[in-house]
Chains A and B, each alone.
Chain A
């Protein structure tokens, strides 16, 4: 039907009118087809993401046997427990310091990679991204072995410098440090790759203009690089904040929350309470505390994404 209309007239004005006449039927068909094409996606998201998210709100209001409605009882119980506040504090320390270090290291390394001649960049980038490629559960095992109390390869090396033996996962403060270190190791390459892509998109002329105006390297970074990269920095940081805040694998394998709950974060504690401790409602309440931070980060990301969508 449509192609008959097009064969009739090759002039532009005819084309527009014929398009309009066929529009109504086409739209009808098109929207049905489009709906069918997105239906599996809609079903998946609503049944396996949105419904469970709401279901956990419901679960959080039940008692341990899930037979009785207790309202905010689980939350009251949590607020009275010292471990809960420990977990809140540790989650914030963990997420914020890990993201800051990941962003800093990523930024610095991206600059170094950007500095070296183009043909060598591929090789460096390839090596530096390896931590991100290895499944975190597997690489954390290697870290656990590197941190082993009696055979630690780090302590072996450090002993030559007279430092030593460090209780990597045995002492509360060192355990927190180790967990953050592994997370930084795992996540920094992602920042590096994102920042490298952003650096490459900064037009060379801007640096030339800055150099002509006599800007030193610091001014070039502060007035040219950072403003040009602002969007990517914001999105990457917020995204990483979500992922780090919800992290499970690294803490679970490295310390499983110990020593004495001093490295538990929301995800690992929710697992301990909800699955291992068989108190599903309490576990659901614990994990719900991630929502506010996730929501705030998501709102900011969305604002940036839609802003860029409008620019394009």
Chain B
């Protein structure tokens, strides 16, 4: 059959075939060219962070070629990693993120299980409501939340504002809705036979969740954990509003409010701090890229 087709229109067909594979090769070359351009565009800021972090302030103010380090030094790193203040920021960030991840998982996994498997009155509405909450941004809530916590402080005498642990109440509003939403998707994709079998064997709902759903949906759980961690690590607006004393700050706010003193910018240290602040999410991403991407796309493709 193919020979017939070629015989029929031998000259034109052949040329066309040749041009098509040539087109492919060119398309590939252009793809690599543009991908390289875009990769450079993507990586310039982080690479520039690294370059600047290796420079001494004398080299920075000498205004030599900014893209090259002539006298690499680790003094910025040594200075930051031995400064108590910076380590406090790091500790606060780590504590907040770890607690928020734990709280998020404790709230959203059971809720997602109930919403995905145990149809009850209002469960569908609640699932949609959870998704809607995820769409309410932090910049809409920070003013009323700030006032709310101030009022609570006045009424009860429990002063939560300007304590790092106030963030443990607030960050879950950012993480829980999305984590619940993607866990609903993961749980819903588990075959019904599995939990029916467990129930038949006499497992309670709680056992079904811990023995079957959590192990089977582990990839989803990891993706949700990564999401919760990166969100709480990167959050900037809430800590800026709720914490002010230097010993209560988390890393992003700490770097910006303490390393930038008036008009004096110590760029070597700022870039070092920024790089160290970006390191935990980057390391997680480097090792768990597939889970990271799964969590990113799950919100829209599952559900």
Please give the residue numbers on chain A whose beta carbons come within 8 Å of chain B beta carbons, in ascending order: 2-3, 6, 30-31, 33-35, 37-38, 40-42, 44-45, 48-53, 55-56, 59, 105, 108-109, 112-113, 115-116, 122, 124-139, 141-143, 145-146, 148, 150-151, 153, 156-157, 185, 189-190, 193-194, 197, 232, 235-236, 239, 242-243, 245-249, 252-253, 266-267, 270-271, 274-275, 280, 283-284, 287-288, 290-291, 294, 297-298, 301-302, 305-306, 308-309
Partner of B143, one of A190, A249, A284: A284
Can you list 22 pairs linking A and B with CB atoms under 8 Å apart?
A40-B106, A41-B180, A48-B145, A48-B173, A49-B133, A49-B177, A108-B34, A109-B35, A122-B289, A126-B286, A133-B230, A133-B281, A137-B252, A137-B277, A148-B265, A151-B267, A185-B41, A239-B299, A280-B143, A284-B143, A294-B137, A308-B303
The one of A129, A232, A290 that contacts B139, using a Cβ cutoff of 8 Å: A290
CB distance from B283 to the nearest CB of A (A): 10
**B45 within 8 Å of A by Cβ?**
yes
Minimum distance in angstroms from A55 CB to a CB of chain B = 4
> What's the least CB distance linking A100 to chain B, in Å?
17
Query: Which residue of chain B lies nearest to A182 when distances are taken between CB atoms in the complex?
Result: B45
Contacts known (A133-B292, A294-B137); A6 close to B200, Cβ less than 8 A: yes
Instruction: Give the CA-CA distance A146 to B123 in the complex, in Å.
Output: 50
A135 to B137, Cβ gap below 8 A? no
Q: When the two chains form their complex, are residues B140 and A116 in contact, meaning their CB atoms are under 8 A apart?
A: no
Q: Is the CB–CB distance between B48 and A146 below 8 Å?
A: yes
Q: Does B19 contact A (CB under 8 A)?
A: no
CB-defined interface of B106-135 with A at 8 Å, one 1/0 digit per residue? 111011011100101101001011111101
B140-A246 in contact (CB<8A): yes
Segment 136-177 of B: residues with Cβ below 8 Å from A: 136-148, 169-170, 172-173, 176-177
Q: Is B31 an interface residue (CB 8 A)?
A: yes
Most B Cβ at <10 Å: residue of A113, A134, A193, A275 = A134
The smallest C-beta distance from A32 to any residue of chain B, in angstroms, reads 9
CA distance A78 to B130 in the complex (A): 33
On whether A44 and B123 interact (CB within 8 A), knowing A153-B67, A190-B296, A248-B138, the answer reads: no
Bound-complex Cα distance A139 to B278 (A): 8
A277 smallest CB distance to B (angstroms): 11
CB distance from A237 to the nearest CB of B (A): 11
- Identity of the chain B residue whose Cβ is nearest the Cβ of A274 in the assembled complex: B143
| B35 cross-chain contacts in A, Cβ below 8 A | 109, 112-113, 116, 124, 128
B231 nearest CB neighbor, chain A only: A135
Closest residue on chain B to residue A153 by CB atoms: B66
Q: Is B218 an interface residue (CB 8 A)?
A: no
Q: Are A44 and B172 in contact (CB under 8 A)?
A: yes
Q: How far is the CB of B47 from chain A (nearest CB, A)?
A: 9
**Residue on A nearest B126 in the bound complex, by CB:** A38
Contact in complex: A280, B147 (CB < 8 Å) = yes
**Interface residue ranges, B against A (CB under 8 Å):** 27-28, 31-32, 34-35, 38-39, 41-46, 48-49, 52, 60, 63, 65-67, 106-108, 110-111, 113-115, 118, 120-121, 123, 126, 128-133, 135-148, 169-170, 172-173, 176-177, 180, 199-202, 205-206, 230, 233-234, 236-237, 240-241, 252-253, 255-256, 265, 267, 270-271, 274-275, 277-278, 281-282, 285-286, 289, 292-293, 296-297, 299-301, 303
CA distance A28 to B151 in the complex (A): 40
In the assembled complex, the Cα of A243 lies from the Cα of B178 at a distance in Å of 14
Query: What B residues does A113 contact at CB under 8 A?
Result: 35
CB-CB under 8 A for A145 and B31, given A48-B170, A124-B39, A128-B38? no
Name the A residues within 8 Å of B285 (CB-CB): 129-130, 133
Q: Could you tell me if B237 and A249 are in contact, using CB atoms closer than 8 angstroms?
A: yes
For A117, the closest partner residue in chain B by CB is B28
Most chain B CB atoms below 10 A, which of A2, A48, A267, A298: A48
Closest to B176 in A: A44
A171-B202 Cα distance, complex, nearest whole Å: 70
The interface centre, meaning the residue of B130, B289, B297 with most chain A CB atoms within 10 A of its CB, is B297
B42 touches A267 (CB 8 A): no
B114 neighbours in A (Cβ, 8 Å):
33-35, 37-38
Q: Are A45 and B177 in contact (CB under 8 A)?
A: yes
| New A-B contacts (8) at CB < 8 Å, excluding given A129-B285, A246-B139 | A3-B202, A41-B176, A116-B31, A125-B293, A130-B43, A135-B230, A193-B296, A280-B143
The interface residues of chain B lying within 8 Å CB-to-CB of A3 are 200-202
Interfacial chain A residues near B146, Cβ < 8 Å: 275, 280
Q: How far, in angstroms, from A212 to B119 measured CA to CA in the complex?
A: 48
Assembled-state Cα–Cα distance A185/B40 (Å): 11
Whether B39 lies near A290 (C-beta < 8 A) is no
Set of chain A residues within 8 Å of B234, measured between Cβ atoms: 135-138
User: In whole Å, how far is A33's beta carbon from the nearest beta carbon of chain B?
Assistant: 5
Considering only CB atoms, which chain A residue lies closest to B129 in the complex?
A: A45
Tell me if A305 and B131 are in contact (CB < 8 A). yes
